């Protein structure tokens, strides 16, 4: 697998390898929430309050209670063991921050695309982005309270996903649930590369 850095000279301190995983999806799909649930360090967030200036630009239908939005990225970290860390980068959800994506995606192992079934079409651009660049991804269907529940196969059809792309129902606020999404991504990447699938 590719790593962000593999700085392991024989002299000097041993530095852990770092895997980079992107958390993407539409505006308000739960990216910041998922990174916060998973990160062992206080996540770096770049949240700004949504003001009346963004009316007409940021579509709040379905997420009317939302008061802030990510304007650059979220960053979190998970230590797997002393040799391996996972860095999580949450992408900004709005179209006007697309210019940041190529920087964020550089060297990434893969991505989680969070889908909100109340606004499914919002995750199409993320899916297109990773498909076009050949970056492996899984889809996490974030189950918001009160949102209509759809069967996983109905969502797969609506997203027109390749059959091998894993889909996982999740609750972005729940660490255990969020971990299962990451595990499905790592297994998917291993399968794609013909490497042994790690035991969770």
Residue 142 CA to residue 168 CA, distance in Å, equals 9
Footprint on residues 134-153 left by ligand GTP (CB under 6 A): 142-145
Footprint on residues 3-22 left by ligand GTP (CB under 6 A): none
Residue 175 CA to residue 22 CA, distance in Å, equals 17
**Rounded to an integer, what is the distance from CA 99 to the centroid of its chain?**
17
**Rounded to an integer, what is the distance from CA 110 to the centroid of its chain?**
9
Part of the chain binding ligand GTP (CB under 6 A), chosen from 11-19, 28-36, 98-106, 124-132: 28-36
- Pick the closer one to ligand GTP by CB: 82 or 145: 145
For residue 110, what are the β-bridge partners? 21
Over the Cα atoms of the chain, what is R_g? 17
| Total residues in contact with ligand GTP, by rule CB under 6 A | 20
**Residue 28 in the binding site for ligand GTP (CB under 6 A):** yes
Part of the chain binding ligand GTP (CB under 6 A), chosen from 14-22, 23-31, 129-137, 153-161: 23-31
Applying CB under 6 A, which of residues 19, 22, 38, 69 lies at the interface with ligand GTP?
69
Part of the chain binding ligand GTP (CB under 6 A), chosen from 5-13, 65-73, 149-157, 160-168: 65-73
Query: Which DSSP string corresponds to 30-48?
Result: SHHHHHHHH-SSPPB--EE
């Amino acid at each position: 697998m590719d790593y962000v850095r593999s700085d392991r000279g024989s002299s000097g301190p041993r530095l852990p390898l770092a895997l980079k995983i992107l958390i993407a999806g539409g505006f308000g799909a739960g990216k910041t929430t998922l990174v916060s649930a998973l990160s062992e360090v206080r996540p770096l967030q770049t949240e700004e309050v949504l003001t009346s200036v963004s009316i007409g630009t940021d579509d709040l239908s379905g997420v009317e209670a939302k008061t802030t939005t990510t304007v650059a990225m979220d960053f979190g970290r998970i230590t797997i063991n002393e040799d391996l860390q996972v860095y999580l980068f949450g992408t900004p959800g709005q179209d006007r921050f697309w210019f940041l994506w190529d920087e964020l995606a550089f060297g990434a192992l893969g991505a989680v695309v969070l889908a909100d079934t109340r606004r499914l079409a919002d995750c199409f651009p993320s899916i297109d982005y990773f498909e076009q660049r050949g970056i492996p991804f899984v889809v996490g269907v974030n189950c918001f309270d009160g949102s209509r529940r759809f069967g996983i196969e109905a969502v797969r059809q609506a997203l027109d996903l390749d059959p091998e792309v894993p889909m996982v129902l999740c609750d972005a606020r729940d660490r255990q649930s969020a971990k299962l999404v990451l595990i499905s991504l790592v297994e998917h990447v291993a399968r794609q590369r013909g490497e042994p699938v790690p035991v969770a």
